[in-house]
Structure 1
Amino acid sequence: MNLARSIIDAVNSYWAEEVQILGSWEDAPAVVCVVYRRTIDPDVTLGCRLQFHENPADGTGTVEGFARDAAVNLAEPIGFQASRTRQDQYGIVWVAIPSDRSTPEPPAGVIRLLAAS
């Protein structure tokens, strides 16, 4: 299962005009972190840690179904999750990371990309 690739493919298939993926990496088995920007708030770099589960909204129980749900969530406004955001040292605003957990550490390539933009 390549969860990151599936999420990127779903974003590119359905939301390419609204979401720009800046980087992704595996954080644990069946867990991927995604750093992205959206056209609705292009000056904000967002991060999200997504853990695969077999109950996506489309009811398929597949990686593809989970990836489509993740793509929708990346494209939509943060909504009630806005109260659960934290900005890290690189300027990434992480969505829904519990306060007792540190924000994910982006790989060097993502940090270089953020510094250049």
Structure 2
Amino acid sequence: MESTTDALQSLISIISLEKIALILLICFFAWALLNVIKISLDKLTIKLPKYRLFWGRLYPFIRLFIWGCVIIYTTAGIIAPHQNVVLAMIGSISIVIGLATQEPQKI
């Protein structure tokens, strides 16, 4: 009975209302930053049409980098789970990526 109570208390300490609000605030700022970058790249496309394809190809990498930083910071910096939880998440993600990249077999 005590182990269930301890597990619930540790879950509540990991995920609190303040942490959720902070994560939402960080996501909002990342979204706003990406919108500013997208508008800036669109204006650069108009000003410098010679580099139109470069600006168009650059935005997905910027978006991936910013959201990756947000995910890593919120997971490691704000939530700060135990090392075993992080290793289990990395293992699960690795399995999913490995299965997703397999080629389907022809019958």
TM-score after normalising by structure 1: 0.21
Give the TM-score taking structure 2 as reference length. 0.23
Q: Which has the higher contact order (CA 8 A, sep 6+)?
A: 2
Question: Which structure carries more helix by proportion?
Answer: 2
Structure showing the higher strand proportion among its residues: 1
